[in-house]
Amino acid sequence: MPFAFFLSLLPAMFGFATAEQSDHVRTLVVEQEVIMRIPVRPRPVQPFAFEEKKGPKCLDASSIRGAALSGRETVDFLLFDRRRFRAELSEDCPALDFYNGFYLTPEDGKICVRRDGIHSRIGRSCRIERFRRLVPKFPR
């Protein structure tokens, strides 16, 4: 009897293990549409100083490692190769940090300006107006 009881609890134990918050980019394909969940890191207490340079028109979606909020209208994308790009949004996008993430839906494997947007988990959508490449400033 105790062994059968243990076996009945096994699925519940695995269910609890998968309910943890993940700090990784997750990709889900629903009816041939790719949806990416991007975790958002909290704003640093001592922000780093960055110099903004001209950025690309598109970013490869598979190279995104995570994101950090840098303002109410900006999100910094962190890439696997340690580069950082700031997405300037078309308007104020509330609740991006409240739900610990947001969604992207790349059409062709790329996130492009004036085409794609960030979708907050409460359903609000904010279009990406431009990307800026961020270069760290080092004190002299």
Tell me the β-bridge partners of 71.
74
Residues in CB range of 65: below 8 A, 6 or more apart: 25, 78, 79, 80
Average pLDDT, rounded, for the chain: 78
- Please report the pLDDT score of residue 95 as a whole number: 65
Residue 10 above 90 pLDDT?
Answer: no
pTM reported for the whole predicted model: 0.70
Instruction: Look up residue 50 and give its two tokens.
Output: 């960055």
pLDDT band at 5 (very low <50, low <70, confident <90, very high): very low
136 vs 138: CA distance, rounded Å:
6
Residue 38 above 70 pLDDT?
Answer: yes
42 vs 68: CA distance, rounded Å:
6
116 vs 127: CA distance, rounded Å:
6
